[in-house]
């Protein structure tokens, strides 16, 4: 098979930010064989490279001088079953939300709260996606990944991925060493552990007059997300741009003294998680717009592209927000989005 790399490829439509940027080389892959061939090619071996999935967690601040490998590995299959669960393997290039719909339609429980999260299946374990009281790690069984240095496929089980809040071993110690090719989830077939603990879900079910069930929770989450978060098809964005900061109790108490209403949640190791969206709103940034970029009207954690924003402008806005939040609250926010 001869590989065909495209030159000077426009990437705007491959990212949810919808920002115009080019890569010097581009190649899609839809099988492990193709991927293996690509990583042995001269173009790959002599250039910088990156893998693009659904493009929902990336901000290009300049053109990419290297090769973009575009993941199009598809396929959904059952690979195991027990009394009350199934193991389903999803190709890493599957659209995450389509996989949620597949699960819900088949009566498989566990990812309904993660409805409508943009991006691909392969990106989900990278940052242990989470929403409305559920994280990927709660249903994650294992993943298969191609080791770039050896070309071999390796399996990683849940404990080996070091999942944390928007964290995994693939973002840290093993960064750029593996390409995730498939993800296996352990989903319930009965005795579903429906999670409506996140207040807004219960309220939404009541409002819609719906009983808690896999499909109704999915519907409620879709409704909530649509009301709060901009649809990337209308307004370019990358979901939460920053992580919620986790602080020591002492720091929290100091802030609570100044702002009694500050939202807070218990975090591991007796720390406290704060809402970055609240801090950014309190600092006065919510709904701010500059030319074609700004901070979303309904959720201050989301930076947006109204049309023709440049990546560098969005990045510089994020830097201004970081500095302002630090000076007002003494908290250094961390970006959740990958900056290229």
Binding region for ligand EPU (CB under 6 A): 131-132, 228-229, 239-240, 243-244, 263, 275, 277-278, 281, 286, 299-301, 336
* Residue 166 annotated among the catalytic residues of the structure: yes
For residues 197 and 131, give the distance between their C-alpha atoms in angstroms, rounded to a whole number. Answer: 12
Backbone φ and ψ of 161, nearest 5° = -90, -5
Could you tell me the CA-to-CA distances from 36 to 1, 40, 122, 242, 315 in Å, in that order?
A: 12, 7, 17, 34, 34
For residues 35 and 314, give the distance between their C-alpha atoms in angstroms, rounded to a whole number. Answer: 32
For residues 141 and 316, give the distance between their C-alpha atoms in angstroms, rounded to a whole number. Answer: 39
**Among 306, 134, 190, which Cα is nearest to 237's?**
306
For residues 150 and 161, give the distance between their C-alpha atoms in angstroms, rounded to a whole number. Answer: 20
* Residue 261 annotated among the catalytic residues of the structure: no
How many CB atoms sit inside 10 A of residue 216's CB?
20
For residues 277 and 77, give the distance between their C-alpha atoms in angstroms, rounded to a whole number. Answer: 38
CB of 3 to ligand EPU, least distance (A): 34
Backbone φ and ψ of 70, nearest 5° = -100, 115
For residues 328 and 211, give the distance between their C-alpha atoms in angstroms, rounded to a whole number. Answer: 43
151: alpha, beta or left? (left if phi > 0; alpha if psi -120 to 50): left
Nearer to ligand EPU, 163 or 278 (CB): 278
HSE-up of 118 (CA within 13 Å, CB side)?
Answer: 22
For residues 95 and 279, give the distance between their C-alpha atoms in angstroms, rounded to a whole number. Answer: 32
CB of 229 to ligand EPU, least distance (A): 6
**Among 248, 251, 228, which Cα is nearest to 301's?**
228
Residue-wise DSSP of 156-177: EEGGGG--BTTB-TTTTTTTTT
Residue-wise DSSP of 132-157: TTEEGGGTEEEEEEEETTT--EEEEE
3-state secondary structure of 238: strand
Catalytic residue among 24, 49, 142, 240: 240
Give the catalytic positions in this structure: 166, 240, 336
């Amino acid at each position: 098979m001869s590989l065909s790399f495209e030159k000077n490829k426009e990437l705007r439509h491959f990212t949810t930010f919808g920002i115009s940027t080019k890569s010097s080389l581009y190649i899609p892959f839809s099988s492990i064989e193709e991927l293996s061939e690509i990583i042995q090619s001269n173009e790959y071996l002599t250039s910088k490279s990156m893998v693009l999935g659904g493009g929902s967690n990336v901000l290009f601040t300049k053109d990419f001088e290297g090769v973009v490998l575009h993941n199009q590995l598809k396929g959904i299959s059952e690979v195991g079953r027990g009394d009350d669960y199934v193991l389903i393997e999803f190709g890493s290039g599957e659209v995450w939300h389509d996989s949620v719909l597949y699960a819900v339609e088949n009566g498989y429980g566990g990812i309904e709260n993660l409805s409508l999260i943009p991006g691909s299946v392969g990106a989900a374990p990278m940052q242990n996606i989470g929403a409305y009281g559920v994280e990927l790690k709660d249903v994650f069984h294992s993943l298969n990944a191609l080791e770039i240095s050896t070309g071999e496929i390796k399996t990683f089980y849940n404990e080996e991925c070091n999942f944390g809040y928007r964290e995994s071993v693939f973002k840290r110690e093993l960064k750029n060493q593996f390409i995730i090719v498939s993800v296996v989830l352990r989903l319930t077939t009965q005795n579903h552990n429906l999670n409506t603990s996140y207040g807004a879900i219960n309220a939404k079910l009541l409002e819609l007059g719906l009983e808690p069930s896999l499909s109704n929770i999915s519907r409620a989450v879709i409704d909530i997300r649509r009301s709060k978060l901009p649809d990337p098809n209308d307004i370019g964005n990358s979901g939460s741009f920053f992580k919620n900061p986790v602080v020591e109790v002492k720091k929290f108490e100091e802030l609570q003294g100044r702002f009694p209403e500050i939202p807070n949640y218990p975090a591991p190791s007796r720390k406290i998680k704060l809402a970055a969206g609240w801090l950014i709103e309190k600092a006065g940034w919510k709904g701010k717009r500059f030319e074609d970029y700004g901070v979303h009207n309904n959720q201050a954690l989301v930076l947006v592209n109204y049309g023709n924003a440049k990546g560098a402008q969005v990045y510089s806005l994020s830097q201004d927000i970081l500095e302002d939040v630090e000076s007002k609250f003494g908290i250094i926010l961390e970006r959740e989005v990958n900056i290229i």
